[in-house]
């Protein structure tokens, strides 16, 4: 789990170019991607915000809106991966919460609220919200942030040491919706090859 936390949103930190907005943003964590919006959100994007993201952002009013929107989207997408098998375990929940605390700079209390709302929304409205939230996140996230979220999705799906076929299918959908380069997707998938249930099934057949 510690390696997951170190590499969740790994990459070269981006400089903080934001000097506007009410209140001082939370201190940025050392290392990893700087969680600032890749571009200002247009009014139309705000109007198109889904109910899920609005609920989560409401819990993070102290943050600049664009940054809160990024975190809300990331939390939901990773929770979506955890819910692929229709079960979100306590271990998966803890992984998501700790990732937000250690890699994005939110407080533990904020992380618990964000993840709990995302988890309940994923359970109740996943089929209608999944694509909308993922598409919205793609609009405001950088390519590096999107790849980091995909990597987090794989790690959460493998929290029980196996990525099932339903989980693998959802990971494929998330990768496509985030417009992840196929080569990058394959590289992340290869990191978890030994945990893919389909690979294990093939090896069991070959060994029999």
pLDDT digits (tens, 9 = 90+) for 93-103: 988 888 778 76
Distance CA 30, CA 59 (A): 24
Q: Could you tell me which residues come within 8 angstroms of residue 96 by beta carbon, excluding any fewer than 6 positions away?
A: 75, 78, 79, 82, 115, 152, 156
Chain centroid to CA 10: 13
The domain 41-207 is placed in CATH, from the list 1.10.8, 1.10.260, 1.10.3680, 1.10.150, at 1.10.3680
pLDDT digits (tens, 9 = 90+) for 8-53: 344 333 344 444 444 555 555 544 566 666 665 555 544 455 676 6
Distance CA 201, CA 97 (A): 32
pTM over 0.75: no
Token code pair at residue 202: 């093939």
Burial class (CB in 10 A: 0-12, 13-18, 19+), 8: buried
Q: Could you tell me which residues come within 8 angstroms of residue 111 by beta carbon, excluding any fewer than 6 positions away?
A: 97, 98, 100, 101
Which of 91 and 31 is assigned the larger pLDDT? 91
Distance CA 54, CA 72 (A): 9
The pLDDT of residue 195: 86
């Amino acid at each position: 789990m510690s390696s997951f936390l170190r590499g969740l949103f790994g990459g070269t930190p981006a400089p903080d170019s934001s000097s506007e907005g009410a209140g001082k943003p939370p201190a940025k964590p050392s290392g990893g991607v700087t969680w600032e919006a890749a571009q200002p959100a247009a009014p139309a994007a705000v109007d198109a915000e889904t109910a899920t993201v609005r609920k989560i952002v409401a819990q993070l009013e102290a943050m600049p809106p664009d940054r809160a929107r990024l975190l809300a989207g990331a939390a939901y997408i990773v929770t979506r991966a955890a819910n692929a098998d229709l079960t979100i375990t306590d271990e998966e929940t803890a992984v998501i919460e700790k990732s937000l605390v250690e890699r994005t700079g939110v407080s533990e209390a904020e992380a618990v609220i964000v993840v709990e709302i995302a988890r309940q929304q994923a359970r109740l409205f996943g089929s209608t919200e999944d694509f909308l939230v993922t598409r919205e996140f793609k609009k405001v996230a950088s390519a590096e942030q999107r790849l980091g979220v995909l990597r987090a999705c794989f790690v959460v799906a493998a929290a029980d040491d196996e990525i099932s076929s339903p989980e693998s299918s959802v990971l494929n959908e998330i990768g496509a919706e985030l417009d992840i380069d196929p080569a990058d997707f394959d590289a992340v998938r290869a990191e978890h090859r030994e945990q893919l249930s389909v690979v294990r099934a093939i090896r069991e057949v070959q060994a029999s």
